[in-house]
Amino acid sequence: MNKDLEIIEGRIEVLFKRVPGTQYHINVVNDRFDHTYNFFFQSQPQHQRIKSVPLHTYHEYDLSKLELLIKKLQAYTALSIEYTGFAGQKWPNSGKTIQAKVRNDEN
């Protein structure tokens, strides 16, 4: 898991430019078909479309391990993290709902 975290952190460091007027966040996608979690770095300059860059594919398809990885990632960065494909799921350790709202394209 530490290797995965190092890869994600290193790629965030390269992509996060801190440009004024640009929104940045991380999106974690649950790939139920390949049994992986995909991390994306998303940036959106003002009045422009979102640009999404793949960061890493986490192959440990286990919510407990993902929850731990996310906690470590949150200690590294203050970027907000959004979740896709986790509708109705809760974190095993904290019991909190993972994905607050379901997007239309997930139905």
pLDDT at 74 over 80: yes
End-to-end CA distance of the chain: 31
Q: What is the pLDDT of residue 17?
A: 92
pLDDT at 19 over 60: yes
Sketch the domain layout of the chain as residue ranges. 2-106
With 0-12 CB in 10 A as exposed, 13-18 as middle and 19+ as buried, what is 83? Answer: buried
The overall pTM is greater than 0.85: yes
The strand pair at 22-31 and 80-84 is best described as: parallel
- Tokens standing for 103? 């997007």
Bridge partners for 39 per DSSP: 28, 56
pLDDT at 104 over 80: no
